[in-house]
Amino acid sequence: MLIYPKGIFKEPWTRSPRGFPQFREIDHKKKNFWFTMNRPWTEEFQRDNNVHYDIPIQPLLEWSFFRGDLVEIMVGPDKGKQGHVNYIVEERNWICVEGLNCKYSTVGKEKDYPGMMVKEEKPLLVTNEVKLVDPSDNKPTDVEWRFLEDGSKIRISTRTGREIPIPLQNEETIDYKTKATYKEQPKDTPSSAVEKLTFKPKLATFEMDLMEEYNIKEERVPKPTFWY
For residue 59, what pLDDT is reported?
81
pLDDT tens readout for residues 102-129? 989 888 888 888 888 888 899 999 998 9
CA angle 46, 62, 87 (to 5 degrees): 45
C-alpha closest to that of 97 among 61, 124, 65 = 124
For the ranges 9-13, 39-43, 223-227, the lowest mean pLDDT is seen at: 9-13
Mean pLDDT of 36-56: 78
11 pLDDT band (50/70/90 cuts)?
A: very low
Mean pLDDT of the chain, nearest integer: 83
Residues 6+ positions from 71 with CB-CB distance below 8 Å: 65, 82, 83, 84, 85, 95, 97, 130, 131, 132, 133, 140
pLDDT of residue 49: 78
pLDDT at 3: 40
Q: What is the mean pLDDT of residues 10-30?
A: 59
How far is it, in rounded angstroms, from Cα 148 to Cα 31?
38
Classify burial at 73, counting beta carbons within 10 Å of its beta carbon; exposed 0-12, middle 13-18, buried 19 or more: buried
Query: What pLDDT score does 15 carry?
Result: 57
Using one digit for the tens of pLDDT, what is the confidence trace for 137-185?
Answer: 899 999 999 999 988 999 999 998 899 999 988 888 878 888 888 888 8
Start-end of H helices in the chain: 43-48, 191-195, 206-213
More confident residue, 68 or 5: 68
